[in-house]
Amino acid sequence: MPPVLSDGTVIKVTPRQLQAAKTVILANIYTKIGQVFSPQRFDADIKRLLRLRRFLVTPHLRRHKDFLDITLVVRLLPIAKKVIFLNERGEEVSLPEDVTWLLSAQKGEYVNPYMLNHDARFIHDYLLREGYPFSSVKWRLRAAEDGVVVEFVLNYGLYVAVGAVTFVGNYTFDSSTLYRKIESREETFFRRIFGGGEFVEERVRTDAERLTTFLRNEGFLDASVKVEWKIRKVSDDKAVALITFRVDEGRRYSVGEVRFEGDFKIAPERLRSLVTVKPGRPVRQEEISESADAILRELHARGYVMARVSPEWRVGLSGCRVCVVFRINAGPVIRVRRVIVRGNSTTRDKVIRREILVYPGGLCDLNKLRKSINRLYRLRYFSYALFDLLDTDDPSYKDLLIEVQETRAGRFELGFQYSQEYGLQGRIALVHPNVDISRWPPVGSGQHLQLEFRPGRFHSRYFLYFLEPYLLDTKTRLRVSPEYRRDRWWDYNEKNASFLVGLGRSLTRWLTLDASIRIQRVTIYSISSDAPLDVFLVQGTKDLYGVGVEAVVDLTSVDRWGTVYSGFMSRFSFDLVGKPLPGDYNFWRAVLHAQCFINLYETGE
């Protein structure tokens, strides 16, 4: 059946389109004439047709004595020729791309009326987040040639900004402290320009819950926060919301006693040193949770893989004091019987195993296992890496399974650039962090290779960098880097050839030390008569011999994509050129570089 709009307008469909639809339908129905009828197979057929999003299917079954008649009433869905957004005055408006691309209504796609209702709700939620609490969204279809035009009509209503935020009943914490704990913000001059002062009802209610959590975390276990607001119209298209948070703090509880119960396997003195919850201090949920995590990490470090720590507090002591109890069930000590690596089709086993910090026969330390997965992500060879503990015949031993999925680690770049200073310059680069120069295909041993050619009329650069992170399967790393540059400056020409070789070693998990030797030859020639005097002083060929030392402190954490999201990194390098080495110049250079990464927010991913 051809598409029909709500007003009865029938969208014309050509015989060719009907025949194509019939072919698609029959190809996706596995229920055949003469077969024994299977409700499960028929249900799967209907779902398969609906997933195509090209039809609306209504099945009709008629039972006879020995067979079934199946009739499928199929209505074709129209194709969207255009999707437009209108305001209440009929004027076309635009929505951000991060909203429109999530809609099911897209130009050239089939239009499902049921999905349009979902699209309207999605747009309405967007308007609510933008400060339009009285908005509404409707949709309609208009016939067009070989399809329909989808129109979303947006009735914005009044824009509501946050006019004032007031706190009532807060005695312990002043209003400025509570204001910093919520997301709703009063409209200011800059927020009026850049956004951020809109009134969002869902956000305000969440703010009340956030304040309640904050107070209970500060020892007010009975605290509650209620919110109310009044909306006052200030113009024909704008209103302000006056928000009031009514705070009921209740009594503030403090820690009277800290107890450890259960099979905790650790000396009580050691447990007390791990917890930050101290008698006399307010009851804070964050401190209790952090203390429980600290105890759990200590148990994991000792091989108690199945350890559980359940914190709770008991009200009943004299006054407003509570007893904080950590219920601990350590379980048995688990050791690693063997390490199994799975999923690495290209990368060698040894590349993965040398990043694992637990070994066969040793304790199964979950803390080290998590660090091991982080080290695997740092390699950037894998799209994901995870571990699992497999049961064995001996309950005190587990097999450690490391499962990875390899990703495309290398890249080839080809391009060119033009600038007034450098002219036309090409670029050919090959970068691969997981090569193996000892076999074919030359990948999988964890060696890093970077080869780059930048030919140009005025400036050219040819560069090779090779790193062997585990020389001869030791913790010593080797790096080799020859480089050649040719530059034509305004007043002179320069040739620069250098060769660097270095050795390094990881002294600890976070500290590495490198030493290198660099040999460099620089030639200055074709000097113009009006060049600076300094250029004439260095003309000709000069040889430079230098040594360098570099120390790196790396305390960063990376996510599954290899991106650093928290931690600290510092790099100190010292280079000495000339004496006591030969060469035409003597100088030294020291560089200190530090980076700090702070996680501002987290997403569900």
Evaluate whether residue 5 is within a structural domain.
Answer: no
- Res. 6: pLDDT tops 90: no
Distance (Å, whole) CA 315 – CA 325: 11
Q: Which residue has the higher pLDDT, 600 or 288?
A: 288
Distance (Å, whole) CA 196 – CA 380: 38
User: pLDDT class for 405, splitting at 50, 70, 90?
Assistant: very high
How many Cβ atoms sit within 10 Å of the Cβ of residue 382? 23
Domain that holds residue 55: 15-76
CATH number where 456 lies: 2.40.160.50
Same domain, 437 and 533: yes
Helix, strand, or coil here: 300? helix
Same domain, 275 and 367: no
CATH number where 200 lies: 3.10.20.310
Owner of token pair 């969002």 = 200
Q: 286-290 — which CB contacts under 8 Å span 24+ positions? A: 286/217, 288/313, 288/324
Evaluate whether residue 9 is within a structural domain.
Answer: no
Q: Which of 303, 329, 355 is the last residue of a domain?
A: 329
- Res. 247: pLDDT tops 90: yes
Compute the average pLDDT of residues 17-34.
Answer: 79
- Res. 604: pLDDT tops 70: no
- Res. 605: pLDDT tops 70: no
Q: Which of 50, 76, 102 is the last residue of a domain?
A: 76
Evaluate whether residue 603 is within a structural domain.
Answer: no
Query: What token pair was written down for 273?
Result: 């040193």
Compute the average pLDDT of residues 154-165.
Answer: 94
CATH number where 57 lies: 3.10.20
Evaluate whether residue 441 is within a structural domain.
Answer: yes
Distance (Å, whole) CA 418 – CA 403: 46
Evaluate whether residue 1 is within a structural domain.
Answer: no
Query: What token pair was written down for 184?
Result: 């709703």
Distance (Å, whole) CA 471 – CA 473: 5
- Which of 33-42, 258-267, 361-370, 551-560 is the least confident region? 33-42
Same domain, 548 and 438: yes
pLDDT tens digit sequence for 86-109: 998 889 999 999 899 999 898 888
pTM of this structure:
0.68
Same domain, 416 and 503: yes
393 φ/ψ angles, rounded to the nearest 5 degrees: -70, -30
Distance (Å, whole) CA 372 – CA 168: 50
Q: Which residue has the higher pLDDT, 491 or 602?
A: 491
Contact 386, 412 (CB under 8 A): no
- Res. 44: pLDDT tops 80: yes
Query: What token pair was written down for 216?
Result: 């209970």
Of 399, 403, 388, give the one whose Cα is nearest residue 352: 403
Same domain, 428 and 577: yes
- DSSP conformational letter for 409: -
Same domain, 400 and 419: no
Same domain, 379 and 508: no
Distance (Å, whole) CA 586 – CA 566: 40
Same domain, 549 and 415: yes
Distance (Å, whole) CA 468 – CA 36: 65
Compute the average pLDDT of residues 525-533.
Answer: 89
Evaluate whether residue 527 is within a structural domain.
Answer: yes
Q: Which of 201, 226, 248 is the last residue of a domain?
A: 248
Evaluate whether residue 604 is within a structural domain.
Answer: no
- Res. 514: pLDDT tops 90: yes
Distance (Å, whole) CA 67 – CA 472: 75
- DSSP conformational letter for 363: B
Cα distances (Å, whole numbers) of residue 141 to 147, 156, 191, 234: 10, 20, 37, 36
- Which of 40-49, 273-282, 367-376, 465-474 is the least confident region? 40-49
Q: What is the pLDDT of residue 391?
A: 93
Q: Quick one: how far is CA 602 from the chain centroid?
A: 8
Distance (Å, whole) CA 375 – CA 583: 41
Contact 127, 137 (CB under 8 A): yes
How many Cβ atoms sit within 10 Å of the Cβ of residue 582? 9
Q: What is the pLDDT of residue 318?
A: 67
Q: Which of 198-202, 411-415, 601-605 has the highest mean pLDDT?
A: 198-202
Same domain, 445 and 573: yes
Q: Which string of DSSP letters, residue by residue, matches 450-507?
A: EEEEE-BSSEEEEEEEEEESSGGGSSEEEEEEEEEEEEE-SS-EEEEEEEEEEEEEES
Evaluate whether residue 171 is within a structural domain.
Answer: yes
Distance (Å, whole) CA 468 – CA 448: 7
Same domain, 451 and 528: yes
Q: Among residues of the chain, what percentage have pLDDT more than 90?
A: 57
- Which of 27-41, 291-305, 514-528, 529-543 is the least confident region? 27-41
Q: What is the pLDDT of residue 602?
A: 65
Same domain, 33 and 93: no
Total of domains in the chain = 6
Distance (Å, whole) CA 125 – CA 132: 9
Same domain, 84 and 30: no
Of 463, 465, 471, give the one whose Cα is nearest residue 449: 465
User: pLDDT class for 563, splitting at 50, 70, 90?
Assistant: confident
User: pLDDT class for 124, splitting at 50, 70, 90?
Assistant: very high
Q: What is the pLDDT of residue 399?
A: 96
CA angle 354-356-357, nearest 5°? 110
- Res. 420: pLDDT tops 80: no
Q: What is the pLDDT of residue 263?
A: 87
